[in-house]
């Protein structure tokens, strides 16, 4: 589910369209915090894709927590 | 005169206990100040997605925020001075903020600025290129902290807004409608949407076409207009509305 980058950061291996999986991860994440409304991209409010601690990468995102 | 004000890279990753204002919020505060001072009237803010690349030091999503304003010529310098001080003061300490203010009728080669905007969505650009173009086009471009890399996004944001075919509007739109059903004509008459369009079918909705509103109503910047995008509903879903507004995930690519 996660791969470790060269900078030792956790990058989600499912890419940018794995809506159900990131919703499930976020539901079980104690660190989840919703980002500004303008930066939300998932229809599920609780989703890593909508989290203020995700940093988008070319293929996916890094979890900064 | 009409100006475009564009800012980028004003924030940092928000961590626990530290609230950092986003770039969009700062753009909104600049608008409030412009209107409070009586310098002019501002149009809504658009958000423009730029390239996500390992060589670019963005915070979390690499987007620029831009708005247009109609001001008296005499207020241009005070406005630039205010926005510069404001960004230096209000941006996050680790941010690299950039400010662009372009007087649209002075831009001798609009295509160059628009082209720069699209390049910033596709390739890694340098500050030098941004400053060089701004100087050639008589556009104000300045940095207000950190590395100042935000000047690239700020200039690109102005180009993309000028081009009229990129980005989505900041904030959610509130549209008054009974049972979330409303005609395209009524949507446009409420003043914040110029056109309701279905890209899949390639058509602009007629005034009496009925739209079902979702919970995330956000127009995009297309054809130099505020365009509300909809997709066709299957007939069995509802016997009245034939169209549904885009959801967040459908709007992601704008």
Residue B12: which pLDDT band, with cuts at 50, 70 and 90? confident
- Compare all CA atoms of chain A with the CA of B251 and give the residue at the minimum distance: A41
Interface of A with B (CB under 8 A): 19, 33, 35-43, 52-58, 64
Residue B240: which pLDDT band, with cuts at 50, 70 and 90? confident
User: Are B73 and B100 spatial neighbours (Cβ–Cβ below 8 Å)?
Assistant: no
Residue B158: which pLDDT band, with cuts at 50, 70 and 90? very high
| pLDDT over 70 (residue B237) | no
pLDDT for position B210: 94
pLDDT for position B91: 86
pLDDT for position B171: 94
Which residues on B lie below 8 Å from A54 (Cβ)?
60
Q: Mean pLDDT lowest for which of A18-32, B64-78, B173-187?
A: B173-187
Residue B57: which pLDDT band, with cuts at 50, 70 and 90? confident
Which residues sit opposite B103 in a β-bridge?
A: B3
Instruction: Please classify residue B202 by burial: count the beta carbons closer than 10 Å to its beta carbon, then call 0-12 exposed, 13-18 middle and 19+ buried.
Output: exposed
> H-helix or E-strand containing B249?
helix B248-251
Residue B72: which pLDDT band, with cuts at 50, 70 and 90? very high
Q: For B12, list phi and psi in degrees, rounded to 5.
A: -135, 170
Q: For A41-61, what is the mean pLDDT? A: 95
Question: Tell me, what's the ipTM?
Answer: 0.92
Q: What angle do CA B96, B253, A1 make, to 5 degrees?
A: 85
3-state secondary structure of B198: strand
Among B113, B130, B115, B101, smallest CA distance to B1 is for B101
Tell me how many residue pairs between chain A and chain B have CB atoms under 8 A apart.
Answer: 50
- Compare all CA atoms of chain B with the CA of A54 and give the residue at the minimum distance: B60
Q: What is the pTM of this model?
A: 0.94
- pLDDT: which is higher, A14 or B18: A14
Residue B10: which pLDDT band, with cuts at 50, 70 and 90? confident
| pLDDT over 80 (residue B94) | yes
């Amino acid at each position: 589910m996660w791969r470790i980058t060269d900078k030792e950061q956790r990058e989600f291996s499912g890419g940018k369209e794995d809506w159900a999986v990131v919703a499930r991860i976020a539901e079980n994440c104690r660190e989840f915090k919703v980002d500004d409304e303008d930066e939300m991209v998932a229809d599920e409010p609780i989703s890593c894709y909508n989290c203020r601690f995700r940093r988008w990468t070319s293929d996916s995102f890094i979890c900064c927590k | 005169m009409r100006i475009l004000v564009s800012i980028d890279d004003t924030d940092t990753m928000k961590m626990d206990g530290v609230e950092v204002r986003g770039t969009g919020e700062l753009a909104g505060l600049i608008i409030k100040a412009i209107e409070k001072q009586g310098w002019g009237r501002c149009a809504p803010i658009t958000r423009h997605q730029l390239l996500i690349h390992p060589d670019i030091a963005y915070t979390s999503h690499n987007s620029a925020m831009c708005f247009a304003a109609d001001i008296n010529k005499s207020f241009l310098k005070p406005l630039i001075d205010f926005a510069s001080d404001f960004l230096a003061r209000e941006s996050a300490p680790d941010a690299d903020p950039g400010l662009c203010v372009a007087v649209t009728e002075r831009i001798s080669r609009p295509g160059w600025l628009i082209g720069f905007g699209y390049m910033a969505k596709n390739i890694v650009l340098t500050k030098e290129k941004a400053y060089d173009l701004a100087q050639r086009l008589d556009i104000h471009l300045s940095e207000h902290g950190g590395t100042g890399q935000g000047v690239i996004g700020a200039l690109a944001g102005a180009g993309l807004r000028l081009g009229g075919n990129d980005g989505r509007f900041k904030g959610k739109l509130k549209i008054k409608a009974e049972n979330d059903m409303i005609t395209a004509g009524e949507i446009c008459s409420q003043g914040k949407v110029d056109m309701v369009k279905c890209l899949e079918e390639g058509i602009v909705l007629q005034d009496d076409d009925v739209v079902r509103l979702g919970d995330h109503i956000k127009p995009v910047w297309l054809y130099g207009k505020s365009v509300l995008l909809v997709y066709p509903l299957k007939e069995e879903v509802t016997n009245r509305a034939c169209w549904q507004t885009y959801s967040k995930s459908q709007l992601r690519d704008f």
